[in-house]
Each structure stands twice: as structure tokens, then as C-alpha cells.
Structure 1
Amino acid sequence: MSPEKIYLDNNATTRMDDRVLQAIIPFFTMYYENAGSSHLSGITVQEHVEEAVWNIAELTGGKPEEYIFTSGATEAINLTISGLDHSKRKHIVTVSTEHKAVLDTCRNLESNGYTLSMVNVEESGLVNPEILREAVTDETLVVCVMLVNNETGIIQDIQQISSIAHEKGAFLLCDATQAVGKIPVDVSALGIDLMPFSAHKFYGPKGSGALYVSRDAKIKLHPQILGGGQQKNRRSGTLNVPGIIGLGKACEIAKLEMEADAARISELRDMLEKELLSIDGAFINGSHEHRLYTTSNICFPGVNAEQMIMRLQHISVSNGSACSSITSRPSHVLKAMGLNDEEALSSIRFSLGKFNTASDIRQASVKVRELIEKLRA
């Protein structure tokens, strides 16, 4: 009998909540109609979509008409950065620890004649507001800073960063993929103009995401997908109704249970860190205080993280972003925070979720300790 799987890679993706699955199933069978159809059945499906949008807006603080549905955060990021009206301003500011979806899209624009300023972070993983302020000019169109880092869990002061961007008349794009559904996110209070996020990061379905676009900011977006003119011509294509329903249900559940989940998962992470940080030389990468409760990125000097991940077998952990962890290159996030190649390649991300138990943590801690002893020997 094979050992039971222990999943500690929830920043990569999460198991779908059973209640989300049950909410989705009828939209493959009973309510399968196109939400854009004008007959009664189509209108009924559209009403369900509108209810989902209301739940999404309730969780994130926007108005229902301010959301564009996408296949996920990566598409939403591409739509935003590539789709913004660059006719008057051609300067973009971002941060060296952003997700590759942001960095690669920005660099693509840079190769096409736009100016890109890359702001480095401090050893803590946090952006120095004064250095950011120096980078933003009267020519800056958008400042791109994520709310929670996917590799380290570092939480940026988005409210302050928003003020810096707005001082120069720039928009703030805030990738909230690792934040929505895990911590309170209010786009109005934080001063966010554009915010992408994905359902599968907080117990919803893969292939479903959204982009918040502030109505007050009067943002002009050029569509990147053309076709039937759906979603006010901003993103054509038949709506992924099951995906939208799943995203809405995940938001509804998060609104009710996020606080309790946070308290329980925090205890599990503290338990994990108590065990693993007692290993000789181990240390946490980045700020201890300004960090998401789900995430521990720990360096184990003298240990090859890739070898360790393979030998952990049924215990799932990561050495970086799920989008780039198949390579053996050191994490660009950890390198930007001042780690050398050896330290970055000796670091492992443990990301916990609401389905983890104390038994998971105890078993994983014992196995990690055993492996480190073997690998160091």
C-alpha cells in the first residue's frame, strides 16, 4: 500500500473545495446553455453568472461591472500590460521579484520600444518606497507590484505603493493571485486600479480567473482576444460559465471562512517552522513579519533542494514558482533578495492550505530532517 500523499505546495495550486465542485457540476449538465443567448434558458444561466460576480465583488471590494473574466491571472496580466493605452505614456515600473507573467510581458513591451524600470527589493523581500518613488516619473503609465509574493509569501504595502503611483498619475497593477481568498483584499481601500487573480489558488477550478478594472480610474484597455465582442469588447469568447460559477463559490466560501482558516493554518506553519528551523544552519528567506501565513521559504545550506524534492516522494513541496520549477536555475526571487546561487538552490518553499493537518506537518518534518542528514552526509 502506497503512503498517503502530503501536499505542501498550495501556492502552486489547491485542491478544489467539494462545495465548489458541487456548485459547478449542474452547469455542465442541467444549465449548459450559453450565457450570451437571448432565450429564457440563456438568461437563466446569465443570472447565475451575475450572482457569482456579486460574490467576487463582495470578497474583493469592487463593483460587479468592474470585472473581466479570463482563463487565469496570466492572461489577465497580459491583457492589462499589453492592452493598456500606451499612446501618451510609454514607461513601466515593476519589481525584480514579480511573477514571470509580469516580468516577461513587461520585457516584451521593452523590446518593442517602451521604457522599463526594474526596482530591486531589500533583503527582506520588501520594496523600499523611496527607491520606488524615484523610479516613477511623469511618463510612467503603470506601476506593477504584487500584493503577496508566490515564492516567499512576502506582503507588500500596497496602499503606500498606490499613493506613489498615483502621485505621478500612473495606474497601479497589483497581482493579487496569492492574496485573494487568503487575506482581506479591498481594491478601494488599497487604491488598486487593476488586479488579476485566479480561482485555483484558493480552492476553485483551474482555467478560471478575473481582472478587476477600476471604473473610476477611466482605464482604456485594448482587447487581446477578438471575436464576438463579449464582456464589453474587452475579452471576446463564450463565457466559461462553470469556471465563473466555481470562482464565485470559492469567493463566497472564503468570505465566510477565511479568518478561521488563517488562524488554523498559521498554527500549522508555526509548528512546521519550529521543527525545521532547529536544523543546523536553516533560515527563513525574507521578512518574518510581513509574510502570508501559508508560506515558509526555508534555506537548508549544503542541501540540493532539487534532490530533496525528488526524494521526498509522496510529500509535495517546491523550490520556486510552479511556472519555472522544472528548471534547475536558482530562483530569480531569492537572487533579487540577495541570496547567492548556492543558497537559492538550497531553498524549499512549503506552502500550506486548509486541507492540511497536524499529522501532515509532523510526518513532513520528520522526513525532511532525515533527508537533510543523509544528503549532508
Structure 2
Amino acid sequence: MNKRPLYFDYAATTPVDERVIKVMVECLGFTGNFGNPASSSHAFGQQARQSVEQARRQVAELVGATPEQIVWTSGATESNNLALKGVAQARGVGGGHIITSQIEHKAILDTAKQLQDAGVAVTYLVPDADGLITAQAVSEAMREDTFLVSLMLVNNELGTLNDIPAIGQVVRDRGALFHVDAAQGAGKVAIDLAQWAVDLMSFSAHKLYGPKGIGALYVGPRAQQRLQAQIHGGGHEGGLRSGTLATHQIVAMGSAFALAAAAFDEEKASIVRLRERLLEQLQSIPGVRLNGSPTRRIPHTLSLTFSEGEFNPAALLASIAFSATSACNSASNTPSHVLLALGHDARSASRTIRLSLGRFTTEQDIDQAVQLIKAACASAPAFWQ
């Protein structure tokens, strides 16, 4: 059996924690908690409903929300679509103005393009040199008809951390709604929706050691009556998202968020130590550069560009699972839109990799990865000829 590669792609997806798997499996099979949570007429449905509501409380507790503000979805992509399309359609199709940025996830950019085609004006903010969107940039882009601003908490490629509380206050002062894609931030950044001026926030379980196919959207009080459902057929989730709730996935997401809350400080400190160990060793490679702010960032995600002639990424493919952010649009095989927005050209983007650390990363993994990367640099001259 071939040895498995080292895993350094936690920003793409995380393995499901064994403790989460246990509670998930308990909701499957005839002897388990398999009932339809929408059915309250018998014990099976009531038990499932209680588990769903407990999970809703667990998600809410991690982010400083109240349980009734959490709406279940199939993941952050659906949450993003519900937020942007739901707000735009609730006010009437066409007209008005929204603000986002050039370095958002495609779930935001593609949705914004759909709204643009329907007649909504869209401003795509350019990040600063550190890969951040500032409150000043948002303020300067606001218009009288701006009704929504949508920005990431943490950039999925760079790991950079926007000042969401400051931006949110600017948006609220101007009367617009503020949506935040927090798929990469939940469990890594202390989020307090009771204090932040945020109206909508998207979450995903599989970025936080839960299963794929389940997520949530926080809907704050200012957005309650300004959001139109995108999926109809039963009026579930307060009329915002119809469909039979997947008890096993929801319970798993709740468990994953509860585990993240319990281990928040410990895990963050551990990741910081591992990140420093990794960077300290990689800095001995000539010309290696960290993309994005060195300070306003989560420790979990590193985007690294290597000098031409100093790196052969193909040499790593069998030994390290990482993201080649130069090809984030794998279907079109185009350079990363995030790196291009930061001023990289296509060739520079092709020498960039994203390494992301997580709960199961060890010091041994770090040291082995560094040696493999250094070996890839040593083999670079033949690669570039």
C-alpha cells in the first residue's frame, strides 16, 4: 500500500472528527435517531427535532447569535446565494447597488454576476497590497442606492483577516445590509454577532471537521424581513429554506461547532506554534514570499510564492496534499483571481502554493513538508529549462 501524502489542505476541506462521526452515525438506522424532525406527532419526530434544535444552539453559541437566527442550508455556497439573491429579490429585481471585492470566493462572485445581469449595479473592490478590504474602501464605494455589502471574514487563499466590525459599522451607518462569508473563519476567529454590525453570515460544516453538504446562514434582525427564500416547498426554517432537515448532518455540524468552541484557545495556540515552525524553516529558501498581511491573518493558511528557478511544484504532488492556488478555477485552468488581484502575473501565480494547517497537523508533518519543499526547490532548474 502506498504511503498517504502529508495533508496540508485543511482550507479546502477537513476530515470529519471521529467524535462528530459518532454522533452522526447515531442518527442513522432503525435503532438510531432517524425520525423526520418536521414531524412532531410521534416520539421519533420529536426526538429528531430536539437534536436539530440542540445543534442550532451549538452553532449559535460559537458565533454569538441566538438559535432562532440560524437557518440550515446545504453549505456556505447555498448560504451565500440565499443572502445575496434573497436580499436583492426581496427589494425587487433590478436596480440598486451592491459592493463586494475582487478576491471573494466564486460562490459570491458568480452570484454577484447573476445579479449584475439582472440589472443590479456591482462594485468589485480592489484589495490593498496586504490582501485586505478596508473600511475606508467600503465607505468610498457606498452610494445612495447601495443596499448590500458582501465580504469575506477570512480569505480562502491568503488567510487574510478583514476588519469586519469596522466595515460593518460603516455599512450600518449608511443603512445597507452587511453579509459576511465566514466559511474560513468560524472556529478560527472569535466571532460575536451580538456585537458586530453584521446582518447575514454564512457557515459551512466541512471547513470545521464536520461533514460536507451542511451549512447555515445567520439572519440578523435587520435582515429578517428583507430576505426572500430561494428554495420553496413546505415553508421550513421560518419560510426561508424548504426541505426535510437532514438530522444526521445537522447534528454533526452542531457537534463540530461545539468541539471548536471548547478547544478554541488551545487549538489556536497549537496552530500558531506549527505555523511559526513552518515559516522559520521555509525562510531559509531564497526568494520565498508570503502573500497577504503578515499580521492580519489566521495562522492556519499560508500562501507562498517562490522565485522563478527556485521551485518545482510538480515534485510535491505525490508527497504533499496542498492547493495550487494558481489553478483555483480548475475547470478553466486560469490563474487564481485572488493572486491576479494582488498584482501577480500568471507565471508568478504558477509558482504559488497554499499550505493550510489543521487539528491533526503535527510537528513531524511540518518538518517532513519542509524537507520535501526544499527538495522541490533543489530540483527546480531542470523543471524551468
2:321 equivalent in structure 1: 316
Partner of 2:203: 197
- 2: CA distance, partners of 1:137 / 1:250: 40
Task: Give the match's secondary structure for 1:104.
Answer: helix
Specify which of 110, 113, 118 is matched with residue 112 of structure 1: 118
Q: 2:355 aligns with which of 350, 353, 358?
A: 350
Q: Matches of residues 281-320 of structure 1 in structure 2 within 5 Å?
A: 281-302=287-308, 308-309=313-314, 311-320=316-325
CA distance in 1, matches of 2:188, 2:207: 9
Change (3 A) 1:325 1:310: farther
Partner of 1:34: 36
Pair 1:71-2:77 in alignment: no
In structure 2, relative to structure 1, the CA distance for the partners of 1:155 and 1:219 (3 Å cut) is: farther
Q: State the 1:304 CA deviation.
A: 9.4
Moved more, 89-98 or 69-78: 89-98
Q: What SS class does the counterpart of residue 189 from structure 1 fall into?
A: coil
* Cα distance in structure 1, aligned partners of 2:150 and 2:75: 17
Cα RMSD (Å): 1.8
Q: Tell me how far apart the structure 2 counterparts of residues 101 and 197 of structure 1 sit (CA, whole Å).
A: 13
Cα–Cα, structure 1 residues 132 and 303, in superposed 2: closer, same or farther, change >3 Å? farther
Do structure 1's residue 55 and structure 2's residue 55 form an aligned pair? no
Point out 4+ residue stretches in structure 1 off by more than 6 angstroms. none
Q: TM-score, normalised by structure 2?
A: 0.94
Pick aligned residue for 1:125 from 92, 117, 131: 131
What do residues 29-88 of structure 1 show as CA deviations (whole Å, max 9, x unaligned)?
A: 211110011222101110111111111111011110011101100011011111112339
Counterpart residue identity of residue 74, structure 2: S
Amino acid at match of 2:339: L
Distance 1:323 1:332, change over 3 A: closer
Kindly state the Cα deviation for residue 312 of structure 1 after the two structures are TM-superposed.
2.9
Q: 1:57 to 1:128 in 2, by over 3 A?
A: closer
Structure 1: runs of 5 or more not aligned: none
Corresponding position: 1:373 with 2:378: yes
Moved more, 60-69 or 307-316: 307-316
SS across alignment from 2:122: strand
Q: SS of the counterpart of 1:172?
A: strand
CA contact (8 A) 1:86 1:141 kept: no
Deviation at 1:188, TM superposition (A): 2.3
TM-score calculated relative to the size of structure 1? 0.95
**Helix, strand or coil at the partner of 2:181:** coil
How far, CA to CA, are the matches of 1:353 and 1:81 in structure 2? 30
* Conserved 8 A contact 2:125-2:137: yes
Does the 8 Å contact 2:329/2:335 carry over to 1? no
Q: What residue identity is the alignment partner of 1:123?
A: A
Amino acid at match of 2:273: E
Cα distance change of structure 1 residues 369 and 323 upon mapping to structure 2, 3 Å threshold: closer
Tell me the SS of whatever aligns to 2:20: helix
Q: 2:258 and 2:11 mapped to 1: Cα distance?
A: 20
Query: 8 Å contact 1:94–1:119 — kept in the other structure?
Result: yes
SS in 2 for 1:174: strand
2:144 is the alignment partner of 1:138:
yes
Deviation of 1:343 after TM superposition, in Å, equals: 1.5
Structure 1 residue 341, shift from structure 2 partner: 2.0
Deviation at 1:130, TM superposition (A): 2.1
Aligned-partner Cα distance in 2 for 1:255–1:266: 17
Q: Distance in 2 between matches of 1:304 and 1:31?
A: 55
CA contact under 8 A between 1:312 and 1:367: conserved in structure 2?
Answer: no
1:44 to 44, 47, 50: 47
Q: Which segment is superposed worse, 225-234 or 204-213? A: 225-234
**Distance in 2 (alpha carbons) for counterparts of 1:93 and 1:143:** 5
CA deviations 1:168-207 (Å, max 9, x no partner) are 1011100000000112111122211000010000101110
Map 1:1-377 onto structure 2 (within 5 A).
1-29=1-29, 30-38=32-40, 39-84=42-87, 85-87=90-92, 90-302=96-308, 308-309=313-314, 311-320=316-325, 324-325=329-330, 327-377=332-382
Mean Cα deviation higher: 245-254 or 317-326: 317-326
Of residues 344-353 and 328-337 in structure 1, the stretch that sits farther from structure 2 once superposed is 328-337
Identity score, percent: 38
Secondary structure of 2:143's partner?
Answer: coil
- Taking the aligned partners of 1:303 and 1:17, their CA distance within structure 2 comes to 40
**Which amino acid is 1:106 matched to?**
A
CA deviations 1:120-166 (Å, max 9, x no partner) are 11110012332221111121111011100000000000011101111
Query: 1:303, 1:346 within 8 Å by CA — same for their partners in 2?
Result: no
Per-residue CA deviation, residues 196-235 of structure 1 (Å, 9 max, x unaligned), is: 0100001011101000000244442211111121112211
2:71 match: secondary structure: strand
Is the alpha carbon distance of 1:142 and 1:304 closer, same or farther for their aligned partners in structure 2, counting shifts above 3 Å? farther
Write the deviation string for residues 12-44 of structure 1: whole angstroms up to 9, x where unpaired: 000111000001101112111100112221011
